[in-house]
Amino acid sequence: MTQKTRNKTKREEFSQLYSQYYPLVFNTVYSKTGNRDDAYDISQEIFIIYYEKFEKIGDNRKWLFGVLRNVVLRHYSQKSNTTVDIDSIFEDVSLTFVNGFRDTRIIIEEAIENIEISEEDRTILEYIAYNNYSYTHVGSILGMTKRQVGYRYLAIVKKILEVLREKGIQNIEDLL
Amino acid sequence: MNSIIENFQKIMRKYKFLDETPADIRDFSLASSRKGLTNILKISGDYSFIFGRMLFIYYTAKKLGIKASFLQIKITLAIISIFITLSAIIGIYLFVKPFNNSSPVTIIDKKKKKPEKYFPAQTRFKIGIEAFEGSTNEAGRRVTTAVSNSLTKILGPGSVTLVSKKNRSPVPKVLTGSIRQLGKNRYISIKIIDVESSKVEFAAAEKVTSENTVSSACFKLSKKIADRIK
């Protein structure tokens, strides 16, 4: 394969991954910065780094969110001279729970992490379950129909509930 | 089925997994995706105009719920390009046609000799001679022969042929004439007719005072004819 062909294949693969992850990264950065323009700039910075390295990366999602954390921290450091506590920005909400809520959250989190689903299914889960995107919006990001997204999301949720059942939570209503 | 999803969403909200994105931010992230990707590829030097069109198709297909590979997009783009090119050619042809009834494209080979309009390419005769009318057949035949010989001498061999009234097509011009008695003298009159337009191009007459001057009169006429058609 010539260098030119390799570059063409690279940009095509990157374009597919970018279109899949960009809204997710942008939303996360926005939730940390609260500024749309900053979120756009930071997202661009993350994906410029990603473009150079994505061919060697195994888990794209984990890598992107790892870099996101560092780039957001650098952004805060550049904006203010004061020292920023990164944990306060990426605060684990589970720490705020008491009276058994924290344990339940950890169980749910583990169930979501442990289910064996494709990278695309995990993206669907994150868009809908974490960011409250509609099926239509997810469909337009991933190139699926609303029905396809709904069907796949239901299958993912069923898998999560199955794992929860294995962990002793027989009825989903018990968690509500 | 819907209750499973509804309950799951309630759990996500209750245990603070849900970090709801404002609608305007969600819309902005969707709208700025292609622009951001284009910027990154431009910075990296891997952007091209064609790839920009491919991205346009890629994002449009996704919006319509179609996941297209870049190979499929390339094929689609090729089909669209062919369609646009053909449409443009047809459009130009239809636009030009009213102004020019001939084919819009004419290949001119300058080396190739322009074909004659009404005569086969192999025709080399400059003029065809019809039998002269005369007071007697013998007189007419004699003048025809004399004029034919004189013209052949002047114009060169193969440039003159004898033709009949029924078939004039192999020659561009036809010479008709007669020898008539007018008073004491006889006159040889000739006409050159253009076959294409059927018009008389040239007419001349020569007086013949005696039998001995027939040949010289024919030669004089032949010179006039030759000057005319050369």
A146: burial class by Cβ within 10 Å (0-12, 13-18, 19+)? middle
pLDDT at site A32 = 86
For residues B150-162, give the mean pLDDT.
84
Q: pLDDT tens digit string along B71-98?
A: 999 998 899 999 999 999 999 998 887 7
Using pLDDT thresholds of 50, 70 and 90, give the confidence band for residue A156. very high
For residues B183-202, give the mean pLDDT.
86
Least confident segment among A45-49, A136-140, B9-13, B183-187: B183-187
- A19 contacts on B by Cβ (under 8 Å): 33-34, 37, 58-59, 62
pLDDT at site B218 = 87
pLDDT at site B164 = 79
Where b means 16+ CB within 10 Å and e means fewer, B14-48 reads ebebbeebeeebbebbbebbbebbbbbbeeeebbe
- B4 contacts on A by Cβ (under 8 Å): 154, 157-158, 161, 172
More confident site: B173 or B169: B173
Using pLDDT thresholds of 50, 70 and 90, give the confidence band for residue B104. low
Task: Kindly report the nearest CA distance between residue B75 and chain A, in angstroms.
Answer: 15
Q: pLDDT tens digit string along A88-135?
A: 655 555 555 555 677 888 888 888 988 899 989 999 999 999 988 999
B48 φ, ψ (degrees, to nearest 5): -140, 165
For residues B109-135, give the mean pLDDT.
66
Interface contact flag, B8 A26, Cβ < 8 Å = no
B95: burial class by Cβ within 10 Å (0-12, 13-18, 19+)? exposed
ipTM > 0.95? Answer: no
B205 φ, ψ (degrees, to nearest 5): -145, 155
Q: pLDDT tens digit string along A43-83?
A: 999 999 999 998 888 888 889 999 998 998 888 887 766 55
Facing residue for A11 by CB, picked from B17, B18, B51? B51
At a CB cut-off of 8 Å and minimum separation 6, what does B201 contact?
A: B173, B192, B193, B194, B228
Please give the single-letter amino acid code of residue B173: K
Using pLDDT thresholds of 50, 70 and 90, give the confidence band for residue B121. very low
B8 touching chain A per CB within 8 A: yes
Task: Kindly report the nearest CA distance between residue A88 and chain B, in angstroms.
Answer: 16
Interface contact flag, A18 B18, Cβ < 8 Å = no
pLDDT at B106 over 60: no
pLDDT at B33 over 50: yes
pLDDT at site A93 = 53
Interface contact flag, A44 B40, Cβ < 8 Å = yes
pLDDT at site A51 = 93
Q: What is the pTM of this model?
A: 0.61
By CA distance, what is B70's nearest residue in A? A12
Q: State how far the Cα of B197 lies from the Cα of B201, in Å rounded to an integer.
A: 10
Q: Distances in Å between the alpha carbon of A37 and those of A71, A142, B28?
A: 15, 24, 10
Strand B133-134 relative to strand B173-182, pairing: parallel
By CA distance, what is B36's nearest residue in A? A44
- For CA atoms A52, A57, A60, A61, the dihedral sign is negative
Interface contact flag, A131 B32, Cβ < 8 Å = no
Q: Distances in Å between the alpha carbon of B76 and those of A139, B57, B68?
A: 21, 9, 10
Give the start-end residues of each E strand in chain B. Answer: 127-129, 133-134, 160-162, 173-182, 185-194, 199-208
Beta pairing partners, B188 = B179, B206
For residues B28-44, give the mean pLDDT.
92
Please give the single-letter amino acid code of residue B167: N
Q: State how far the Cα of B213 lies from the Cα of B217, in Å rounded to an integer.
A: 6
- B66 contacts on A by Cβ (under 8 Å): 143
pLDDT at site B130 = 85
Least confident segment among A148-157, B27-36, B117-126: B117-126
pLDDT at B132 over 50: yes
Residue B169 DSSP SS3: coil
For residues A150-159, give the mean pLDDT.
93
- A146 contacts on B by Cβ (under 8 Å): 65
- B49 contacts on A by Cβ (under 8 Å): none
More confident site: A150 or B157: A150
Q: State how far the Cα of B50 lies from the Cα of A151, in Å rounded to an integer.
A: 35
Facing residue for B20 by CB, picked from A16, A132, A139? A132
Neighbours of B108 (CB within 10 A): 6
Chain B, residues 29-48, CB within 8 A of chain A, namely: 29-30, 32-34, 36-37, 39-41, 43-44, 46-47
